[in-house]
Amino acid sequence: MSAICRARLTGVGGYLPRQVITNAELAQKVDTSDEWIKTRTGIEQRHIASEDETTASMAALAAQRALEQAGVSSKEIDAVIVATSTPDKVFPAVAVQVQALLGMEKGFGFDVSAACSGFIFALATANSLIQSGSAKKILVIGSEVFSRLLDWNDRTTCVLFGDGAGAVLLESGAEDGQGVLSTHLHSDGRTGDLLYVDGGVGCAGTTQQLKMVGREVFRHAVVKLSQAVDEALESNHLTGEDVKWLVPHQANLRIIEGMAKKLSLPSDRVVVTVDRHANTSAASIPLALNEAVQDGRVQKNDLVLMEALGGGLTWGSALIRM
């Protein structure tokens, strides 16, 4: 029996829109305050896409930076998978637009829709494609313009989100014990009405704005993310002490701190960007990973645990040996 072709992470990149909106600036538009937002979420500011910045353009810029770090040409890429809930068009997929923007002449691309868990779902899909031998080099991207889905008069949601894109390059050829060790995916459609955006093409008379039952989402996140973390560790016969870095979905600082406590990880081994980026949905994990790699915190051979929960509800985790 031939050995499994393991996927390794060889490049990371990120892009954040030029425009920054602080809590104080938001407080001039809606009934909120810097203290109210920071106390409940940890968020201090968010990046908001300008008219000339799109999900596809940001995704391509993040992907190009990941390719540059890896020293790989876009012409070598076999596939592009984009996790997004905010595509620029119904079709073609954002991934196909990224192919064009990167000058790719071969391969294939498609989008994954799993809300804030999208990057974990896309990573798992890419890993499976590499393991099956269907592709050797895959760009996995999370890109979102949630600012275009928000009701800017609703202080319970508009303060939470921001825009941005993050990307990683997965390649075949990881040595045993390295690369993507495992991924774990879950969803429960019965809880879909807790966090959603209406206004799909198949449904008439809707508003295309984000709706959220915040308290219930928080409650589910604490339980389900804890289970996903346990699942990842147990399947690899590891404990929280083995984890070098927690790179979580950046939605709420209290949830992030809760997961770190569960793993007995000190704060300096948890990558936190929610204060500066807010919740960038599927882009949040690769953006956080990119920052930690670029500033030298995350090093080769470090064990990185990722976890996320999003609308659906969807949730999952991934373990990667860098």
Name residues whose C-beta falls within 8 Å of residue 219's C-beta, 6 or more positions apart in sequence. Answer: none
Question: 202 or 70: which carries more pLDDT confidence?
Answer: 70
Query: CA-based angle 294:97:70, to the nearest 5?
Result: 30
User: Span 219-246, mean pLDDT?
Assistant: 95
Q: Active-site residue 158, yes or no?
A: no
pLDDT band at 199 (very low <50, low <70, confident <90, very high): confident
Q: What pLDDT is recorded for position 3?
A: 59
Q: What pLDDT is recorded for position 206?
A: 65
Residue-range domain boundaries for the chain: 7-172, 179-321
Q: pLDDT per residue over 148-174, tens digit each? A: 999 998 888 999 999 999 999 999 999
CATH architecture of 179-321: 3-Layer(aba) Sandwich (3.40)
Q: pLDDT per residue over 245-255, tens digit each? A: 999 999 999 99
Q: pLDDT per residue over 75-102, tens digit each? A: 999 999 999 999 999 999 999 999 999 9
Q: Active-site residue 279, yes or no?
A: yes
Q: What pLDDT is recorded for position 1?
A: 38
Rounded distance between C-alpha atoms, residue 30 and residue 43, angstroms: 16
Closest CA to 171 of 4, 3, 5: 5
pLDDT band at 6 (very low <50, low <70, confident <90, very high): confident
On the question of pLDDT at 64 being above 80, the answer is yes
pLDDT band at 207 (very low <50, low <70, confident <90, very high): confident
Q: Are 97 and 106 in contact (CB under 8 A)?
A: no
Active-site hit among 23, 252, 279, 290: 279
Active-site hit among 23, 47, 116, 252: 116
Rounded distance between C-alpha atoms, residue 99 and residue 60, angstroms: 8
Query: CA-based angle 108:113:119, to the nearest 5?
Result: 80
User: Span 114-129, mean pLDDT?
Assistant: 98
Rounded distance between C-alpha atoms, residue 159 and residue 88, angstroms: 23
User: Span 221-250, mean pLDDT?
Assistant: 95
Q: Active-site residue 186, yes or no?
A: no
On the question of pLDDT at 309 being above 90, the answer is yes
On the question of pLDDT at 200 being above 80, the answer is no
Q: Are 252 and 312 in contact (CB under 8 A)?
A: no
On the question of pLDDT at 14 being above 60, the answer is yes
On the question of pLDDT at 277 being above 90, the answer is yes
Active-site hit among 184, 249, 252, 277: 249
Query: CA-based angle 77:81:83, to the nearest 5?
Result: 150
| Residues belonging to the chain | 322
On the question of pLDDT at 2 being above 70, the answer is no
Q: Which CATH superfamily is domain 7-172 in?
A: Thiolase/Chalcone synthase (3.40.47.10)
What mean pLDDT, rounded, does the chain reach? Answer: 94
For every residue of the chain, which 3-state class applies, written as one string?
CCCCCCEEEEEEEEECCCEEEEHHHHHCCCCCCHHHHHHHHCCCEEEECCCCCCHHHHHHHHHHHHHHHHCCCHHHCCEEEEECCCCCCCCCCHHHHHHHHHCCCCCEEEEECCHHHHHHHHHHHHHHHHHHCCCCEEEEEEEEEHHHCCCCCCHHHHCCECEEEEEEEEEECCCCCCEEEEEEEEECHHHHHHEEECCCCCCCCCCCCEEECHHHHHHHHHHHHHHHHHHHHHHCCCCHHHCCEEEECCCCHHHHHHHHHHHCCCHHHECCCHHHHCECHHHHHHHHHHHHHHCCCCCCCCEEEEEEEECCCEEEEEEEEC
